[in-house]
Amino acid sequence: MAKYLTKQRKLLLDFLSEHTDETLSAGQIADALSGKEISTSAIYRNLAALEQEGRLKRSAKPGSQEAYYRFTDDEDCRGHLHLSCLRCGKTVHVEEAATDALAHQLAKNEGFALDRTDTVLYGICADCRK
Ligand SMILES: [Zn+2]
Ligand SMILES: [Zn+2]
């Protein structure tokens, strides 16, 4: 049983590591993995476990009830902001210097301490604006 779970988890992790720059809903992940040896309930269970381990970030999209997930195995991603495209779901990693500049500006003008790990800004990416 444990081995079977590990295999399902690996399938999910493989998929997520190929889609690190996308923000996906659990439904989209389940669709993409349909036909593979992983059940929908196993996907949801593993997503919840990965979120608890801090390897997945859950976010809500404006105008949607569904939870979206972004895979953040990357240590580098803790220090900078992320932009998420509402059209294609792509994640843009904001340069650390630009993140610092914005955080500094917000602290100075608003007295606001930005949580750069959890903040995702939504908009339309450069490719989708073409
Ligand atoms: Zn990043
Ligand atoms: Zn886009």
Ligand 1 center to 72 CA (angstroms): 8
User: Same CATH fold, 78-130 and 1-73?
Assistant: no
Q: Which band of pLDDT confidence, cut at 50, 70 and 90, is reported for residue 4?
A: low
pLDDT digits (tens, 9 = 90+) for 83-113: 988 888 888 889 889 999 999 999 999 999 9
pLDDT over 50 at 1, yes or no: no
In CATH terms, the fold of domain 78-130 is Dna Ligase; domain 1 (3.30.1490)
Point out the ligand nearest to the CA of residue 79: 1
CATH number of 1-73: 1.10.10.10
The pTM (predicted TM-score) of the whole model is 0.61
- Residues in CB range of 63: below 8 A, 6 or more apart: none
Ligand 2 center to 91 CA (angstroms): 8
Residue-range domain boundaries for the chain: 1-73, 78-130
Point out the ligand nearest to the CA of residue 21: 1
Q: Which band of pLDDT confidence, cut at 50, 70 and 90, is reported for residue 33?
A: very high
Point out the ligand nearest to the CA of residue 124: 2
Question: Which range has the worst mean pLDDT, 72-76, 92-96, 120-124?
Answer: 72-76
Q: How many CA atoms lie within 13 A of 49 on its CB side?
A: 13
